[in-house]
Amino acid sequence: MPVKLVISQINPIVGDLEHNFKLMLKEVESAKKAKANLIVFPEMSMLGYPPKDLILKQGLIETQDHYIKELALYSDEEFAIILGGISANRDFGNKFFNSLFCLAKGEIDFVTHKVLLPSYDVFDELRYFAAAPRAKYWEWQDHKIGLTICEDIWMEAYPNLYNRNPVENLIAAGAEIIINASASPYALGKPEFREELIINLVKKYQVPIIYANQVGANDQLIFDGGSFTVDSSASLMARAKSFEPDSLSFELKDLINKNEALELRHSNLEELRLAIILGLKDYCRKCGFEKIVLGLSGGIDSALVAYFAAEALGPTNVYAFMMPSKFTSDESLKDAEAQAQSLGINYQIISIKELHEQMRKLMPDLNQLADENLQSRLRANILMARSNTQDALLLATGNKSEIAVGYSTLYGDSCGGIAVIGDLLKTTVFELARHINSEKEIIKQCIINKEPSAELREDQKDSDSLPEYAVLDQIIKLYVEELKPLDEIVAAGIDKGLAARVLNMVDRAEYKRQQLPPVLKLAPTAFGFGRRMPIAQGFRHACHPEPERRQDLPGSTTRS
């Protein structure tokens, strides 16, 4: 009998089992109407990924099992369901397995577990799960279907990390096809890398692979979907949409619906744009926020964040506040208002001039640094008050370049529920703004053209305290994202003194970064729970100079 299979890349909410059950049930009913025989959901689809310590809560696994058994009732002799969840480990090791449940004939017909448990970057699966000794195939409708979960197909990418090969073991056992249920977080360039990885696996083992990936955002992590199929000739035959729920259907014998066109891949900048919109939209939706508050300064960062806020929740739900001080230029006032009008968002001016003057009278001995930070913290107080009053999410508007070197004010411009562009280098901020303007001007060109400034003192420019962003970003990319030491950074053409200065700034700003809001992850290495550096540490590369005192660091001297 021909088998029609559906991949359903859904957007679950972590821990909302009833919601996820209803989401899957809707997809099941749609698949059955389309005369499908098998529907495949992503990794941990019933619970949402990553569940973190939520899985330690009493009663959660029992509730999950109830919904899985309920969903099984919608299977029968000719229609089956594969979904991800957790199961209890009754043997030695951690309490749980990361599992796939195969539902058929109205019951749980087969269960298998993840073999390779990642414990790097944002992954911490060894904290929760026991590793299965081997991958297994499921015999269904006269087919031997090899079942793998996310990392189980990544052993070729990390040959020195694992000593087991689930795909090879399944092929040796007689599996005719491999299904991989994934919750693979997005990073720039990763979708293409995934496809190349699986195409190479098919070339090596001559067995087709079906890849089902989660879509949506959970906290800092964004899942891009992009589920796909690769036939036995190692041809990429179908790809689901990126950054939105979607499904693929095909005959198992063909591994492709011949009438379905392969979607073109987005450009890198368009990928970033869609990822940020999805990340912010899901963060608001899943945390219960319907409105957004932010400071709009007339600069590029806040203009870009305001754009994403309007795209995520709609312009009428975005409230932007310009909070001028005596150092704010007329140009910035005009630019902020023009940007608000361009986006159609709510806009209000609340001056901090009098507040600043009153605070200076109370503390006449404040030095330059304290005075600059005072202005930023006054603004944060206003924004937090508006956030509380309007029950709205406050967005932090800092970029990765500033976050890396500590060029921000704690409890000032660093305040917010989430850092929307905290994983975008400043040069990428400008590139993305120009990309958004490719068809019409949305981010005001006058803002893009303006030299960056915090405007916390007379005639202040970012370049007073920081290297030019093109150079700074090159250093940050090498040091933070590629973990290159000073000598290799210098070999890349960077002045040694300048590189050493920036590396010290990055190292010494760790205490700030660990007090920042969550950052939407867009790069392979992002600040947040995927990068775990100690605050109090004394390691220096052999060619580092002695670290400067924290209060004397360039950048920190203006905004700490």
Indicate which residues carry an active-site annotation.
43, 114, 150
Cis link prior to 315 (omega < 30° from 0)?
no
* Contact residues for 246 (Cβ-Cβ < 8 A; gap 6+): 9, 215, 225, 227, 240
Contact (Cβ atoms closer than 8 angstroms) between residue 444 and residue 306: no
By residue count, the chain amounts to 560
- In angstroms, the CA 128 to CA 124 distance is 8
Contact 24, 41 (CB under 8 A): yes
Edge-to-edge strands, sheet with 38-40: 107-113, 96-104, 80-88, 38-40, 4-9, 246-251
Number of CB atoms found within 10 A of residue 159's CB: 9
CB 392 within 8 A of CB 292: yes
Cα separation, 82 vs 64, in Å, equals 15
> Two tokens at 256?
């492709």
**Opening angle at CA 229, ends 223 and 232, nearest 5:** 145
Q: Which residues of 32-51 are buried (b: 16+ CB within 10 A; e: fewer)?
A: beeebbbbbbbbbbbbbbbb
Task: Spell out a b/e string for 296-311, using b for 16 or more CB atoms within 10 Å of the CB, else e.
Answer: bbbbbbbbbbbbbbbb
Residue in 393, 155, 142 with CA at minimum distance from that of residue 286: 393
Provide the 3-class DSSP secondary structure of residue 316: helix
Calculate ∠ Cα 396-397-403, nearest 5°. Answer: 90
